[in-house]
């Protein structure tokens, strides 16, 4: 009974003449904190070396004034915020991952999940390569280093490495004086580029570019490698052009920050659109429409606009507690929900409330929220969900529970409604959600709702390994 989790956020910057690349990366990571709260790190180029500082915890906990002051001045840095889907939550598994090899050093920050990491790791171990972490991101870094020994340039090494990788990966890499960004051929996870004069930055979301005061230029295309040298010159290579495309549609529903634009689609607009379509697909008579903070608010506004039912705020949110999925035990998560959201009795008392949320995983969080509203005097609570029911797990970077634990696989709509204590329950359809995000004009991965993934699991061995996670 927890919210779904997204693996990571990445940021990279080059061309900072005053040497404050680490400080800019720090500010960007604060903006990407919603994408991962278990660990954070920054790596900078320091002459012929790479200096990396990382640890468990929030960005503000890992980095303070004294830590930032000891990071070497540099015009080139990458940063990472982590939520672990592969590898335990340890300091060693925090990113960026730094790999030393005969010809130099490189550092990698990765968002996504590699489904053939185990056979690749075994192959590299057979070549005598040692691993110090248990996450799949080190496999990527080691593979690039191995290929660099057999190629003339770092760009060629990256290309040879990523063509062997299956799964989801948005990468930022530093090697020598180069900053490199890669997005997998399916385009599972977002990655964008911004420029200002001779400065270039890559980020998981455009809101991080805003924090760095660097204008957004465009999204990195699926299957694109972008390399920036010390003079700001850009080179581009494309691979996997024939791959089936599929941005994770849940980026628009939940993961991304509302002020981000992903693949030319405003996250805010997508969520409002979803609420409008939800009102058309699942109407109900009520007195007020409210959203569960934060990712349910825009969908609630859209629902209110389309239905003509007034919009209101049903909760006061404690801004000093993180997303409840971060807490490792169910008891802690349930306590976090109670601390995090407190109903506004003056708004809901005696009212028929339409409550809009982004999703239901197991159902306990929804039950706690509905119970709180009814204890505050709500006459009825009609729950509306701006994503379809989860019926499949995700293999590409979203930590959705095993299929046997997903409430939609175990109970009918009526049974779920009774179990969570709602007076009615409605989900947006898969086609409705796609329509809400149609400004993106791209293909989406909806595998967690439909079982149709852009990347097939190529072997039963890999499939079995994934199902154990």
The total of structural domains in the chain comes to 2
3-state DSSP percent of the chain in helix, strand and coil, to 5: 35, 25, 40
Same domain, 276 and 369: yes
Radius of gyration of the chain (CA): 22
Q: What is the SS3 assignment for 149?
A: coil
Same domain, 196 and 51: yes
Q: Is the pLDDT of residue 460 over 50?
A: no
250 found inside a domain: no
Q: Is the pLDDT of residue 465 over 80?
A: no
460 found inside a domain: no
CATH code: domain of residue 413: 3.40.50.2020
253 found inside a domain: no
Average pLDDT over the chain, rounded to whole?
Answer: 90
Question: Does the annotation count 8 as an active-site position?
Answer: yes
pLDDT digits (tens, 9 = 90+) for 33-67: 999 999 999 999 999 999 999 999 999 999 999 99
Return the H-helix or E-strand segment holding 316: strand 315-317
466 found inside a domain: no
pLDDT digits (tens, 9 = 90+) for 89-112: 678 789 999 999 988 999 999 999
Residues in CB range of 361: below 8 A, 6 or more apart: 1, 2, 3, 4, 390, 400, 401, 406, 407
Buried b (16+ CB within 10 A) or exposed e, 8-44: bbbbbbbbbeeebbbbbbbbbbbbbbbbbbbbbbbbb
411 found inside a domain: yes
Same domain, 126 and 272: no
Domain boundary among 245, 275, 307: 245
Residues in CB range of 69: below 8 A, 6 or more apart: none
| Cis peptide bond upstream of 392, omega within 30 | no
* DSSP per position, 422-440: -SEEEE--HHHHHHHTGGG
Domain carrying residue 156: 8-245
Confidence at residue 119, expressed as pLDDT on a 0 to 100 scale: 95
Confidence at residue 47, expressed as pLDDT on a 0 to 100 scale: 92
Rounded to 10°, the helix 413-420/364-375 angle is: 50
271 found inside a domain: yes
Same domain, 111 and 230: yes
357 found inside a domain: yes
- Residue 219 is classified by DSSP as E
- Residue 253 is classified by DSSP as I
Same domain, 26 and 169: yes
Spatial distance between the Cα atoms of 157 and 145, rounded to a whole number of angstroms: 7
Same domain, 85 and 163: yes
Confidence at residue 32, expressed as pLDDT on a 0 to 100 scale: 97
* DSSP per position, 9-52: EEEEEE--TTSBHHHHHHHHHHHTGGG--SEEEEEEEETTEEEE
pLDDT digits (tens, 9 = 90+) for 131-181: 998 889 999 999 999 999 999 999 999 999 999 999 999 999 999 999 999
pLDDT confidence of 397, banded at 50, 70, 90?
Answer: low
Q: Which residue among 8, 52, 192, 248 is the active-site one?
A: 8
| The two three-digit tokens of residue 49, written as one number | 């070396």
Using alpha carbons, list the distances in angstroms from residue 13 to 45, 185, 203, 287, 289: 11, 23, 9, 49, 42
Give the torsion sign (CA, 371, 381, 281, 6): negative
pLDDT digits (tens, 9 = 90+) for 237-264: 999 999 999 999 999 999 999 999 999 9
Tell me the average pLDDT across 70-90: 83
Confidence at residue 251, expressed as pLDDT on a 0 to 100 scale: 95
Confidence at residue 327, expressed as pLDDT on a 0 to 100 scale: 54
Same domain, 384 and 434: yes
Domain boundary among 195, 217, 245: 245
Which region among 110-114, 350-354, 395-399, 435-439 has the lowest average model confidence (pLDDT)?
395-399
pLDDT digits (tens, 9 = 90+) for 328-339: 566 666 666 777
Confidence at residue 325, expressed as pLDDT on a 0 to 100 scale: 47
| CB-neighbour burial class of residue 298 (10 A; exposed 0-12, middle 13-18, buried 19+) | buried
Using alpha carbons, list the distances in angstroms from residue 223 to 170, 180, 239: 10, 13, 5
Same domain, 152 and 212: yes
Q: What is the SS3 assignment for 314?
A: coil
Tell me the average pLDDT across 14-26: 97
| The two three-digit tokens of residue 446, written as one number | 């909806």
pLDDT digits (tens, 9 = 90+) for 258-300: 999 999 999 999 999 999 999 999 999 999 999 999 889 999 9
Same domain, 16 and 96: yes
Confidence at residue 260, expressed as pLDDT on a 0 to 100 scale: 97
Same domain, 205 and 301: no
Confidence at residue 51, expressed as pLDDT on a 0 to 100 scale: 97
Same domain, 202 and 111: yes
457 found inside a domain: no
Same domain, 229 and 305: no
Domain boundary among 177, 211, 245: 245
pTM: 0.91
CATH code: domain of residue 161: 3.60.20.10
């Amino acid at each position: 009974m927890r919210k779904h989790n997204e693996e990571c956020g990445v940021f990279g910057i080059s061309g900072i003449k005053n040497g404050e690349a680490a400080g800019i990366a720090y500010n960007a990571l604060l903006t990407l904190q919603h994408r991962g709260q278990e660990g954070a790190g920054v790596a900078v180029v320091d002459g012929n070396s790479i200096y990396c500082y990382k640890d468990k915890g929030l960005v503000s906990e890992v980095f303070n004034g004294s830590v930032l002051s000891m990071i070497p001045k540099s015009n080139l840095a990458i940063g990472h915020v982590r939520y672990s889907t592969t590898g335990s939550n340890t300091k060693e598994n925090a990113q960026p991952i730094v790999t030393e090899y005969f010809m130099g050093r490189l550092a990698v920050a990765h968002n996504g999940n590699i489904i053939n990491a185990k056979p690749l790791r075994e192959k590299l171990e057979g070549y005598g390569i040692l691993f110090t972490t248990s996450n799949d991101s080190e496999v990527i870094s080691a593979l690039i280093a191995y290929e660099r020994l057999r190629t003339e340039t770092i760009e060629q090494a990256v290309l040879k490495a990523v063509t062997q990788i299956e799964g989801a990966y948005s990468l930022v890499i530093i090697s020598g004086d180069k900053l490199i960004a890669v997005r997998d051929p399916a385009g599972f996870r977002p990655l964008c580029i911004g420029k200002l004069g001779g400065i270039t930055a890559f980020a998981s979301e455009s809101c991080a570019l805003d924090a760095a005061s660097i204008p957004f230029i465009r999204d990195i295309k699926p299957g694109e490698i972008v390399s920036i040298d010390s003079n700001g010159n850009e080179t581009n290579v494309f691979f996997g052009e024939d791959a089936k495309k599929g941005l994770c549609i849940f980026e628009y529903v939940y993961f991304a920050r509302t002020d981000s634009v992903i693949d030319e689609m405003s996250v805010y607009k997508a969520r409002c659109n979803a609420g409008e379509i939800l009102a058309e697909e699942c109407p109900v008579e009520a007195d007020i429409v409210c959203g569960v903070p934060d990712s349910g608010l825009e969908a609630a506004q859209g629902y209110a606009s389309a239905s003509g039912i007034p919009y209101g705020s049903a909760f006061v949110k404690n801004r000093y507690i993180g997303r409840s999925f971060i807490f490792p035990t169910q008891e802690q998560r349930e306590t976090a929900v109670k601390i995090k959201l407190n109903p506004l009795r003056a708004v809901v008392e005696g009212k028929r409330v339409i409550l809009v949320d982004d999703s239901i995983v197991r159902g306990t969080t929804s039950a706690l929220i509905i119970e709180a509203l009814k204890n505050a005097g709500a006459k009825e609570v009609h729950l509306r969900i701006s994503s379809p029911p989860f019926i499949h797990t995700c293999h590409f970077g979203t930590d959705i529970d095993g299929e046997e634990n997903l409430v939609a696989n175990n109970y009918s709509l009526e049974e779920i409604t009774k179990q969570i204590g709602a007076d009615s329950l409605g989900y947006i359809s898969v086609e409705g959600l796609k329509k809400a995000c149609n400004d993106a004009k791209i293909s989406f991965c909806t595998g967690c709702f439909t079982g149709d993934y852009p990347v097939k699991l190529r072997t039963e061995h890999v499939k079995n390994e994934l199902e154990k996670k």
